[in-house]
């Protein structure tokens, strides 16, 4: 083995201002170094029970089925469709970005009939279109929407969509990967039946867990399935017997112990900060960033009045090299941002302010560095305008 080459594990420090993951707090980092336990250890199961209670607080729900799936947010999406759809079921899916397209892909793999609601990327799915789609079929089982579309920076209204879903007898499925813990999300009050998220964004935890919750109505659908859920690893009924057992705890898989420590600590920090205060922090910093970008003469991509505060999409000025700017941000200043996905590739940058990364310092640092790089790319702008506008908004 002496000829095997390797490098020392020494990752460089980064300021993560992309679409995720976000930076984590020292407390969350420290939580992951706590002693390893077995996943059925009596002490560890108290951490599991705490995490479930804390997730119910975060989702604002009393749902019995509420727990973290031991995989990333994509597994949450997979579980949501594979558990509640069967071959021949009808699902209406809002497609106004990359992750709406992912929903269509997964639902199609379930053998469902997909009714697409195609909207220009960066705009919301209007309630009139939702109602027309629900009316178009005799029986729609699911209405699926992305609450915070990570590819476009648009925030989808859900209250009216929920009312329409109930009116037409459909379950409401919501992707909250980029909104949970950073935007208002009230599962019970808004009548959301199935909701999943990711641990690595506004929650402020490393990637690797997908918080999930399902209503009693969704649970009833699950129990009436004509066939077994096609995926063993993501079988919600089986997973629930470990995470929220009604009697003895059931072994399904070995859960990621250290990740649960991290999630527990991240959720405790959310409780300490206060959920409303946390939402307002994300709003304050997101709007300051957007004010700064517009003061620099840049164009925000997402529909006005429906912009995420957790992730901002901004148009790349003509003549500016997308990749070169992002590489310089990373290599010279240690700042990561995201490029565009799908049809927006090369057209927008995606700037995230989520969880521990959502700070006034990061807003001002990013705006000042971006100004420098844009000027060096030959783009003319008013010196300092972005930072001044952001400071005024922060005040």
- Whether 281 and 303 have beta carbons less than 8 Å apart is answered as no
Q: Convert the chain into a string of H (helix), E (strand) and C (coil).
A: CCCCCCCCCCCCCCEECCCCCCCCCHHHHHHCCCCCCCCCCHHHHHHHHHHHHHHHHHHCCCCCEEEEECCCHHHHHHHHHHHHCCCCCEEEEEECCHHHHHHHHHHHHCCCEEEEEECCCCCCCCHHHHHHHHHCCCCCCEEEEECEECCCCEECCCHHHHHHHHHCCCEEEEECCCCECCECCCCCCCCCCEEECCCCCCCCCCCCCEEEEECHHHHHHHHCCCCCCCCCCCCHHHHHHHHCCCCCCCCCCCCCHHHHHHHHHHHHHHHHHCHHHHHHHHHHHHHHHHHHHHHCCCCECCCCCCECCCEEEEECCCCCCHHHHHHHHHHHHCEECEECCHHHCCCEEEEECCHHHCCHHHHHHHHHHHHHHHHHCCCCCCCCHHHHHHHHHHC
pLDDT reported for residue 1: 52
pTM for the whole structure:
0.96
CATH of 26-271, one of 1.10.3720.10, 3.40.640.10, 3.40.50.800, 3.40.50.920: 3.40.640.10
Tell me the pLDDT tens digit for each residue of 58-68: 999 999 999 99
Mean per-residue pLDDT over the chain, rounded:
97
Percent share of the chain, pLDDT over 90: 96
Q: What's the rounded mean pLDDT across residues 118-134?
A: 98
Tell me what the mean pLDDT of segment 13-33 comes to: 98
CATH number for the domain running over 275-394: 3.90.1150.10
| Preceding peptide of 259 cis, ω within 30° | no
In this predicted model, what pLDDT tens digit does every residue of 268-290 receive, in sequence order? 999 999 999 999 999 999 999 99
Beta carbons of 150 and 97 less than 8 angstroms apart: yes
- pLDDT band for position 380 (50/70/90)? confident
280 contacts: CB under 8 Å, gap ≥ 6: none
Strands 148-149 and 90-95: unpaired
pLDDT for the residue 231: 95
Domain with CATH 3.40.640.10 in the chain: 26-271
Residue range 34-60: mean pLDDT, rounded: 97
**pLDDT at residue 222 in the model:** 95
Contact by Cβ (8 Å): 242, 255: yes
pLDDT in tens, 164-221: 999 999 999 999 999 999 999 999 999 999 999 999 999 999 999 999 999 999 999 9
pLDDT tens profile 66-104: 999 999 999 999 999 999 999 999 999 999 999 999 999
Domain with CATH 3.90.1150.10 in the chain: 275-394
> Is it the case that residue 255 has pLDDT exceeding 60?
yes
- Summarised one tens digit per residue, pLDDT across range 319-347 is 999 999 999 999 999 999 999 999 999 99
Alpha-carbon distance of 222 to 216, in angstroms, equals 10
At residue 382, does pLDDT exceed 90? no
């Amino acid at each position: 083995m002496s000829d095997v080459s390797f490098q020392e594990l020494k990752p460089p420090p980064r300021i993560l201002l992309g679409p995720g993951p976000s930076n984590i707090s020292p407390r969350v980092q420290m939580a992951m170094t706590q002693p390893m336990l077995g996943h059925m250890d009596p002490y560890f199961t108290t951490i599991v029970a705490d995490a479930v209670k804390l997730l119910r607080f975060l989702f604002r729900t009393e749902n019995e089925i509420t727990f973290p799936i031991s995989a990333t947010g994509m597994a949450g999406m997979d579980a949501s469709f594979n558990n509640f759809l069967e071959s021949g079921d009808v699902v209406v899916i809002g497609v106004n970005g990359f992750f709406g397209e992912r929903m269509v892909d997964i639902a199609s793999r379930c053998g469902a009939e997909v009714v697409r609601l195609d909207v220009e990327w960066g705009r919301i799915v209007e309630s009139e279109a939702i109602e027309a789609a629900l009316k178009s079929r005799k029986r729609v089982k699911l209405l699926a929407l992305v609450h915070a579309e990570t590819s476009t920076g648009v925030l989808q209204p859900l209250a009216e969509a929920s009312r329409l879903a109930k009116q037409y007898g459909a379950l409401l499925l919501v992707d909250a990967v980029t909104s949970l813990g950073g935007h208002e999300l009230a599962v019970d009050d808004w009548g959301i039946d199935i909701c999943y998220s990711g641990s690595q964004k506004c929650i402020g935890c490393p990637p690797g867990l997908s918080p999930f919750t399902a209503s009693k109505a969704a649970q009833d659908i699950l129990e009436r399935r004509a066939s077994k859920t096609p995926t063993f690893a993501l079988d919600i009924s089986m997973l629930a017997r470990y995470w929220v057992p009604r009697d003895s705890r059931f072994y399904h898989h070995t859960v990621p112990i250290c990740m649960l420590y991290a999630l527990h600590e991240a959720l405790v920090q959310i409780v300490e900060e206060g959920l409303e205060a946390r939402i307002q922090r994300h709003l304050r910093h997101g709007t300051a960033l957007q004010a700064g970008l517009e003061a620099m003469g840049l164009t925000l991509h997402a529909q006005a009045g429906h912009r995420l505060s957790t992730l901002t999409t901004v148009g790349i000025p003509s003549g500016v090299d997308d990749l070169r700017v992002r590489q310089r941000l990373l290599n010279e200043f240690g700042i990561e941002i995201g490029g565009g996905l799908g049809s927006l590739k090369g057209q927008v940058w995606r700037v995230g302010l989520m969880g521990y990364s959502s700070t006034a310092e990061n807003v001002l640092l990013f705006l000042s560095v971006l100004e420098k790089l844009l000027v060096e790319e030959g783009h003319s702008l008013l010196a300092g305008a972005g930072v001044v506008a952001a400071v005024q908004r922060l005040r």
